[in-house]
Amino acid sequence: MTHWLLPTDRQSLPQAATTNKDKVTFLKTEIKKPSYEVLCEAAELIKNGEVVAIPTETVYGLAADAYNPEACAKIFKAKGRPQDNPLIIHICDLDMLKNSVKDIPPLALTLAEHFWSGSLTMIFPKKDIVPDTTSGGLDTVAVRMPDNEDTLNLIKMCGVPLAAPSANLSGSPSPTTAQHVYADMNGRIPLIIDGGECKNGVESTVICFTDGGKGIKVLRPGVITAEMLSRFAKTETDKNVFAKPDENEKVISPGVKYKHYSPKADITIVETDSDEKLAEFLNDKNDGGTYGVIFGNETGIEIPTISYGNTAYEQAHNLFAVLRKTDELGAKRAYVRCPEKTGVGTAVYNRLLRAAAFKTIIL
C-alpha cells in the first residue's frame, strides 16, 4: 500500500456534498477503491459527522469520529446495535492513545510495541473526551491500532480516533469483503472503502489488565492468542469466552453479551473426533434444507457441504464468509464441525458458539 502525502490544511480536502446546516446527505451507498482522493472524501465525511465503512486486517468496520457522540450514535443506528455494547476506537499513534485514556500500565506499552499495528485491543479507563455513547456507558474504552495502511492514513487525515465496530447488521456474520458490507449497509451509509478481502477474518483479541496492570485477561480471543500474550505476563481467559454471560452482567468487551455472527440459517456446532460419525450424523439430516460446514474435503457425506478450511488460520479467515454463504445458498440449517479449542482455534470456536446461540451436539 501507499503512504499518501497528507494535507496539513483542512481546506485543501475536497468538500463533500452538503445540504442545510452542513449535514451530509446521500441517496446511495458507493463502493470505492482506496486512493488519496477517496481517503480525502472519507475524512471529510467523518469530520462532518458521517459514518464510513473501512477495511482492516480483521473485518470491515463502520467508522465515525470517536469523540463525537452524535456521529457514534449513527453507528448504533446503522447496525441496529444495542446501546450498551461498547465500541472499539482505532488510533494511528500512541499520542492518540494518551489523549483518550488514563492509567496506561507499562505492560500495555510493551504489548503495543510487540503487537501494534495489529489485532490486539486493550481496555483502559477512559478520559472525558471519549463520550459515553462510544464506550457504551462504561468508564473504560477499548483501543487498538489497525494493521491497514489506508485506514491508518485515514485516521491521520481525520486527526481523531475512529470508533469502528464491525460493518454488519447487529447479530449477523461480520463482513470480510466490501461486498459483505454492501449487502448489510446499502442505503444506511454513504461510502464503503474497498480494501479487498480481510487478512485475518475474525475480530481482534480483546484484553483487560489485572493485578494492578501486571496481568492480562483475555475477554475475546483472536489471532493474537493467549499463548502469545503469556510470554509477557500471567494470562488468564475470561469465563465468558466459552459461556453465555449472565442476563444482567455488565461486560466491557464488545462481541460478548449478545447473539453474534449468526446467519439466517439455524447453526449447530458438532463436536466429534470421528469422520465416520460426522458423515453418518449429517447424512441422517438429508432433507434438502441442511448443509454441513466441514474441514477440508471430508468424504462419505451425502448432503451439500462447505469447507471452512483445514487449519485454524484458514477457518478463522473463512468462517464469516462461509456463514454468509449458507444464506446465499438458502440453507435452513447448518451443522458446523467444531474447530480445535486451542490457539487461533479458540477464536473460531468463540465466534461459532455465539453464531449457534451455544447449541452444541457431541458425537
SS3 at position 66: coil
- As a whole number, mean pLDDT of residues 279-297 equals 92
d(CA 199, CA 201): 6
Q: Angle at CA 123, nearest 5°, toward 314 and 353?
A: 40
- As a whole number, mean pLDDT of residues 334-353 equals 96
Determine the pLDDT at residue 15.
Answer: 36
Determine the pLDDT at residue 80.
Answer: 86
- As a whole number, mean pLDDT of residues 158-169 equals 96
- Residue 32 confidence class, pLDDT cut points 50, 70, 90: very high
- As a whole number, mean pLDDT of residues 271-298 equals 93
- 81-130: pLDDT as tens digits: 776 679 999 999 999 999 999 999 999 999 999 999 999 999 999 999 99
Q: pTM of whole model > 0.85?
A: yes
- Reply yes or no on whether the pLDDT at 33 is more than 60: yes
Nearest one of 253, 72, 90 to 162, comparing CA atoms:
90
Determine the pLDDT at residue 252.
Answer: 64
Sign of the Cα torsion 247, 77, 268, 285 reads positive
For residue 307, CA distances in Å to 51, 92, 310, 318, 335 come to 34, 36, 8, 9, 12
Burial 43-57 (b: 16+ CB within 10 A, else e): bbbbbbbbbbbbbbb
- Reply yes or no on whether the pLDDT at 10 is more than 50: no
- Reply yes or no on whether the pLDDT at 213 is more than 60: yes
d(CA 232, CA 214): 9
- Residue 247 confidence class, pLDDT cut points 50, 70, 90: low
SS3 at position 105: coil
- 172-186: pLDDT as tens digits: 899 999 999 999 999
- Residue 199 confidence class, pLDDT cut points 50, 70, 90: very high
Determine the pLDDT at residue 160.
Answer: 98
Task: Please tell me whether the peptide bond between 274 and the residue prior to it is cis, using omega within 30 degrees of 0.
Answer: no
Q: What is the percent of the chain where pLDDT is above 70?
A: 88
Mean pLDDT of the chain: 90
- Residue 13 confidence class, pLDDT cut points 50, 70, 90: very low
In 221-301, at which residue ranges do the beta strands (DSSP E only) sit? 235-237, 266-271, 290-294
Whether 280 and 323 have beta carbons less than 8 Å apart is answered as no
- As a whole number, mean pLDDT of residues 58-66 equals 98
Determine the pLDDT at residue 3.
Answer: 39
Rounded to the nearest 5°, which phi and psi values hold at 53? -85, 130
Determine the pLDDT at residue 141.
Answer: 97
